[in-house]
Amino acid sequence: MCAASTALAAVVPTESLERIRVAAEDAVRAQLQGIAYEVHIQAIAPDSRLQLAQCPQRLTAQIGTAELGARTTVRVSCPVRATPWTLFVPVTLESDVPVLVLRQSELRGARLLPETVARQTRRVQGLRSDYVSDARTLAHSTLTRDLPAGTALTFTLLQADYLVRQGQAVTLVAQGAGIEVRAPARAMEDAREGARVHVENLSSQRIVQGVVEANGLIQVTP
């Protein structure tokens, strides 16, 4: 009886682990529409000893997170009630992205020029994130720390210059219902582009808060 059961089990078709792997990778690939650079997707192969009943229909695959990182998990399952199973497959992502690389070592506070960097394509973990690829980005910024030659620049390594200094005359801009109102003001502190800053409205003598825009204007925020 035991031998007969073993023989029967031996002929029961099992799911292809390669099919599972491909389903996981395809689920990730479907989320990469419109990406201009090359992304390498690699599903971690399931344990070769795994024995899952063969699914008679197309496998379903769902990504477990809203944003794709260097490593994500895909839920692969068989939608057929007679052979229900679910497997969580880890998938890694790497990208070949254009980056700016330092030609020589630079010190903290250095102001980089286009000739101090070289453009290269490098393979990085995950999707292209904060790597700098346009030399124009280097204008009006300095390095946040000492860096050796060959470092691929990221936005976290660059610190924007102060656009507003304490005591500087600035212009407040408030918008609403299709109307734009401007008023003279004085900055109460130093601030960089995109930072919140306290300013004194010279017309009302009130202290308000706004966001520093690239053109130096202060956009009033609620």
- Across the chain, what does the average pLDDT equal? 88
For residue 124, what pLDDT is reported? 87
pTM value > 0.75: no
For residue 37, what pLDDT is reported? 85
Annotate 141-181 with DSSP letters as a single string.
EEESS-B-TTPBPBGGGEEEPEEE-TT-EEEEEEEETTEEE
Question: What span, in angstroms and rounded, lies between the C-alpha atoms of 211 and 113?
Answer: 28
Between 42 and 46, the more confident residue is 42
For residue 95, what pLDDT is reported? 92
Convert the pLDDT of each residue in 164-177 to its tens digit: 999 999 999 988 77
Nearest partner of 46 among 76, 13, 1, judged by Cα? 76
For residue 82, what pLDDT is reported? 85
Number of neighbours of residue 125 by Cβ within 10 angstroms: 12
Convert the pLDDT of each residue in 127-186 to its tens digit: 877 889 999 889 889 999 999 999 999 999 999 888 899 999 999 998 877 788 899 999
pLDDT above 80: residue 12: no
Convert the pLDDT of each residue in 75-121 to its tens digit: 999 999 888 899 999 999 999 999 999 999 999 999 999 999 999 99
Question: What span, in angstroms and rounded, lies between the C-alpha atoms of 10 and 196?
Answer: 68
| Mean pLDDT within 208-220 | 88
Q: Which residue has the tokens 């808060």?
A: 209
199-204 long-range contacts (CB < 8 A, ≥24 apart) are: 199/170, 199/172, 201/172
Alpha helices in the chain (DSSP H): 2-11, 17-29
Question: What span, in angstroms and rounded, lies between the C-alpha atoms of 90 and 2?
Answer: 37
Q: Which two tokens stand for residue 138?
A: 């280097």
List, in sequence order, every beta strand (DSSP E) within the chain.
Answer: 38-43, 60-63, 71-78, 85-102, 117-125, 141-143, 158-160, 162-164, 169-176, 179-187, 191-192, 196-201, 207-212, 218-220
Q: Which two tokens stand for residue 204?
A: 């009302």
